[in-house]
Structure 1
Amino acid sequence: MLTHPTSERLIALGFTGMAKALDEQRHAPATFDNLGFEERLGLLVDREVAERDAKRLTARLKFAALRQAACVEDLDLRTPRGIDRAVMAHLIDGAWIARHENLLITGPTGLGKSWIACALGHKACRDGHAVAYHRVGRLFEALAIARGDGRHARMLKALARTDLLILDDWGLAVLTSTERRDMLEILEDRHGRGSTIVTSQLPVEHWHDAIGDPTLADAILDRLVHNAHRLPLAGESMRKRAAAMKPLDPTGRA
């Protein structure tokens, strides 16, 4: 005879959270005896919902493949780098993602552009959005490989379906003709259907030159810039600041 047939049946039906909560109630009767049937059932349902939400979040974060383990609660607003608190609060709220608007984060290296993008991506995952992170150079390499083995169209479709696409390190090199066409395809498919975060060391005013072809540059920037929020960062590199504050090794090593 099964020791706890109800728990085993719940597990068999996929209600593992309810099964765990039922076992907890069974092993601590004094804690739950004063609760009515509906209250105890409600606790079981709440546990199941919480566990399923946690599993979905884990899956979204795995798919997002964010470069850094960043979250908005850890955002440093004390270091001077031009972050407006009201603007950042609006971005953290996330309503702009539901409106399919974009975000352009620019500034010199070391100011945390990628970190902020990943933190906003993490928050979007928590809000139930599908997120994907890509460094621009590696994305183009992956698309080139996909074109060779027949996965190119499928990969573009996956990028189009993503609620929030993070393109990190834009503008490190002038785009090739193939890369320009790929970027236009990505942004055309996403225009009005998804949001895109772009980080770049280049000011937005120089992006036209970084794309290369004037006609395609106009088309790409028309789909990327005109409905975008901008977060220009300025100041001293945070990595340099952190290194300066790090105590010296007593052995004299760097």
Structure 2
Amino acid sequence: HTVECAEQALEEMLVANRFGGAGSKVLVEDLLEGEEASFLAFCDGERVALMPSSQDHKAIGDGDMGPNTGGMGAYSPAPVLPRSRWEETAELVILPIIRHMKAAGHPFRGVLYAGIMMTEAGPMVLEYNVRFGDPECQPLLMRLDCDLTEVMLACAQGRLDPAMVRWKDDTALCVVMAAQGYPEKYEKGMRIEGIRNSEELPGVKVFQAGTRREDGLVISSGGRVLGVTALAPNLAAAQKLAYQAIERIQFPKSYFRRDIGAKGLGRGV
């Protein structure tokens, strides 16, 4: 947002070697201002089945403060990209990729992910991935109302019918429980309890990412450790349920954002 911030970032990358070889070259781009949205689609090389919009929360701190992470939480649908704009947005950021790759003789089959900034000038692509996003994947799969295996097989075999992909009308929200210190230095080996107790709440699923089993116990083994996800009739209810589920988990030296979904609620949904 400022020249000073840019200079500090360059210093960390090029002088302090913070990212190793990955930071030996930098690309200076325009600052895109707006709200982020994630837009994914199942693809079979020719046809696509659009997934509902979602919104990731990249920054470590509440209010989008602090360094970026792999994602501290997400919810779906995201009102910044409403259903009425999905087809228009797909024509801008999804279908051109599918058409081009087919014409080039390399049809893409799988999940195409477009990370978008919704600016005043329209959607601008921040990144593409050829996989589910994390933590967008968790709320999306909570809303999926059909057999994921059958959908993926249809993509692989080039016979995807968009009508076979169905979604629940409910809202899903995921809050990531991370180890304190992430995305910088953090401890591993913390004992985690209460996951089963948390999942006893109707509509709650705790996805485990940075964990391992040791003597029958669940132990932290990474920076982003748990994705506590709730499915409810609306965003406010999903947010409340997710944080209620977190209260049932005992995870020492953990950290999580307390404002996941606040932007959507600010839009009156």
Normalised by the size of structure 2, how large is the TM-score?
0.25
- More RCO (CA 8 Å, sep 6+): 1
- Structure whose alpha-carbon radius of gyration is higher: 1
> Structure 1 length normalisation: TM-score?
0.26
Name the structure where helix makes up a greater proportion of residues.
Answer: 1
